[in-house]
Amino acid sequence: MTSPRDRDPDDGSEWREPSHLGGDDATAPDEPNFADRRRTPREEPSTGGADWQPPGWDLPAHTPERPAGVDPTWAPPPAPPAPERTGGGLFGSRRRQRDPEMERAFTYEGDPYGAQAWALQHGWTVSDGSSAEDAVLGGLIASAPVRPGKEARPAGVLRGRAGALELVAFDIAEPYGKRWVATHAITAAPLLGAVPPLRLSPARLWKHGIAGMVPVPTGNEAFDARWQLLAGEDGPQVQRLAQDPAVQGLLLGTDDGDEFWTSAGFVAAIRPDGHRPQLIEHHARLLTAIVGALAAGF
């Protein structure tokens, strides 16, 4: 077996160890070997040698000045009001956030829409609901198609004449915290004769307290699709109301937001709202037509 070292010296050439393997010229300063490269860091003339850093390493100097365009008078918005502590539960008391706008919206202020001013201008009387004459209104509240609370009471009672009708208009007021709020508006007209229990409501509304009542179709498909008439017993009065064109025309022109019923010698209308002049006039038109249909047989 031969190697490069066994070459014939008579061939006219002299073999040398390669420089990278430590030959005669391996120590030349201009040709460092691999060992030298591992011991000496690589130097790049353009990067500054040992002071080289990656591009973007240096951050700009900190400038505490406020950037242009920011209003120096700006201040953060005020903190929300502290939540109010409510009654305890299984794990003790809890906190409930009270929205001031919601509280304002549900605060009964006596006459928020000017209904009392309108009533006085039209010669109506005004009561707070505590007079002896107002005692009958409790029966209307108890029999209403809605479900008022046990502490509900009449408030802002207005009495006067609208056309041929004597009307009483009032709000159902219920406690909300330490205040009273108007949850529904009722307008009622007294009836001169006996009328069976009636309920005239939008078909879309869920109904309660109708035990013993039967539906009475009107024969008008468009009307029956939107309104439902219930009666304790069918008869001439009920049929006149069911087929009265004035009643159907007025109700079809509304937003289906009212309910009507008979109780305590009244026929009444109710809407989830506080009374205002437009609502009193709206109820007066509808009740005039309903009372006219029911009174035709008296």
In a 13 Å sphere around the CA of 298, the CA atoms on its Cβ side amount to 10
HEC assignment per residue over the chain: CCCHHHCCHHHCCCCCCCHHHCCCCCCCCCCCCHHHHHHCCCCCHHHCHHHCCCCCCCCCCCCCCCCCCCCCCCCCCCCCCCCEEEEEECCEEEEECCCHHHHHHCCCCCCCCCHHHHHHHCCCEEECCCCHHHHHHHHHHHCCCCCCCCCCEEEEEEEEEECCEEEEEEEEEEEECCEEEEEEEEEEEECCCCCCCEEEEECCCCCCCCCCCEECCCCCHHHHHHEEEEECCCCHHHHHHHHCHHHHHHHHCCCCCCEEEEECCEEEEEECCCCCHHHHHHHHHHHHHHHHHHHHHC
CB atoms within 10 A of CB 250: 16
> Bridge-partner residues for 269, per DSSP?
187, 260
| pLDDT of amino acid 211 | 83
β-strands 198-202, 259-263 pairing: antiparallel
Tokens of 183: 């949850």
| pLDDT of amino acid 20 | 56
How many residues are given for the chain?
298
Tokens of 260: 């009507």
| pLDDT of amino acid 114 | 87
Task: Please indicate, yes or no, whether the overall pTM of this predicted structure exceeds 0.85.
Answer: no
Specify whether the CB–CB gap between 118 and 111 falls below 8 A.
Answer: no
- Which of 259-296 are b and which e, b meaning 16 or more Cβ less than 10 Å from the residue's Cβ? bbbbbbebbbbbbeebbbbebbebbbebbbbbbbbbbe
| pLDDT of amino acid 93 | 47
| pLDDT of amino acid 177 | 87
**Ranges of the chain whose pLDDT falls below 70:** 1-113, 296-298
| pLDDT of amino acid 193 | 81
β-strands 92-96, 153-162 pairing: unpaired
| pLDDT of amino acid 4 | 55
Tokens of 148: 């008022």
